[in-house]
Amino acid sequence: MTYSSFLVSEFLVLWRRKQDVFNALLFFIIVVALFPIGINSSPDFLAPAAAGIVWCAAVLAILMAVESMFKEDYRDGSLEQLVVSGLSLPLLILLKVVAQWLAVVLPLLVMMPLLSEMLYLPRSGFRVLIMTLLIGTPSLFFIGVIGAALTVSIKQGAMLVMLLILPFYLPVIIFSTLAIKAAQAGLPYSGLLAMLLAMSLMSLVISPFMTAIAVKASVN
């Protein structure tokens, strides 16, 4: 096993499971649609709320995708093979997260123009929305993967991961929505983007090691 062959196999598996990614995206759209339908469909309500709606839906969709990331590997023993492969487990986990991120977030970004029209998000906010999604979502993946690794040995672990991880997502949601709102109001937002970037970088450094500890404790 090498790092590149591992990455190739990860992409192949993601490609075979494209239905799952598709489901996550569909879930995302449905959650977004719930707000205009369930609360208020007027532009007066939606335009200021759009950033929050998109981010909450994105957080849920991403958590759904991340939660099951190790399940299959755990069942068929390939997670165990990663542990004994002699390669660096944190680095393998990092690669896996990057692959997963590309598979989920890129399609999400592609759908954004459509959704921002549906939610009447002003032009000024749209660019920042894309930026927050690009900078902010990596930390969601890196934090979520810790929870996924900790609960991989539990049969019905999805709820537990939600309970465990959602509180950690609050700062990302807050920084992102504040940045978008600031942009809509014509205020400076680069400080908030910097916070997001800092969170993503920090989780990128810490999470692979924590996840490696969790994976090692889970496969036994």
Partner 1 sequence: MSWAWFHKLGSPKWFFSWSKSWPLPVFCFGCFCLVIGLAWGLAFAPADYQQGNSFRIIYIHVPVAMLAQSCYLALGVSGFVFLVWQMKMAPIFIKAMAPIGAIMALIALVSGAIWGKPTWGTWWVWDARLTSVLVLFFLYMGIIALQNSLEDQVLANKAAAVISVVGLINLPIIKYSVVLLETLHQGPTFTLTKKPEMPAEMWLPLLFSVIGLYCFVAGVVLWRMQSEILIREHRSSWVKQEVMEHGL
Partner 2 sequence: MQSSASLTISDLWIERGERDLCKGLSFSVQSGDVVRILGENGAGKSSLLKVIAGVLSPLEGQILYSGEDVTLDRNPLQQDAIYLGHSIGVKSLLTVAENLRWYCPDVSTSMLYSVLTQLGLIDQVDVPVKKLSAGQARRVALARLWLNKKTLWLLDEPFASLDVRGVALLEERIQQHVLLGGLVILTTHQDLLSIALRDVALLL
The answer to whether the beta carbons of residues 209 and 90 sit under 8 Å apart is yes
Q: Which residue's structure tokens are 């958590």?
A: 63
Residues constituting the chain: 220
CB of 191 to partner 1, least distance (A): 10
Pick out residues in 168-197 that bind partner 1 (CB under 8 A): 168, 170-171, 174-175, 178, 195
- Please, which residue, 50 or 103, has the CB nearer to partner 1? 50
Distances (CA, A) of 207 to 71, 138, 178, 181, 202: 18, 11, 25, 29, 8
User: What is the full DSSP assignment across 19-73?
Assistant: HHHHHHHHHHHHHHHHHHHHT--SHHHHHHHHHHHHHHHHHHHHHHHHHTTTHHH
Rule CB under 8 A: say whether 164 interacts with partner 1. yes
Q: Which of partner 2, partner 1, none sits in contact with 206, Cβ below 5 to 8 A by type?
A: partner 1
Binding mask 121-160 for partner 1 (x = CB under 8 A): ----------------------x--xx--xx-xx--x--x
Residue in 40, 41, 42, 81 binding partner 2, rule: CB under 8 A:
81
For 172, phi then psi, to 5°, come to -65, -45
# binding residues, partner 2 (CB under 8 A): 26
Interface positions, 12-31, toward partner 2 (CB under 8 A): 12-13, 16-17
> Toward partner 1, which CB reaches closer, 30 or 170?
170
156 lies in the binding site for partner 2 (CB under 8 A): no
CA dist., res. 127 & res. 129, Å (int) = 5
Sign of torsion over alpha carbons 37, 40, 44, 49:
negative
Q: Which three-class secondary structure state does DSSP give residue 120?
A: coil
Residues binding partner 1 (CB under 8 A): 143, 146-147, 150-151, 153-154, 157, 160, 163-168, 170-171, 174-175, 178, 195, 199, 202, 206, 210, 213-214, 217-218, 220
Residues binding partner 2 (CB under 8 A): 1-2, 4-6, 8-9, 12-13, 16-17, 72-73, 75-78, 80-81, 83-86, 216, 219-220
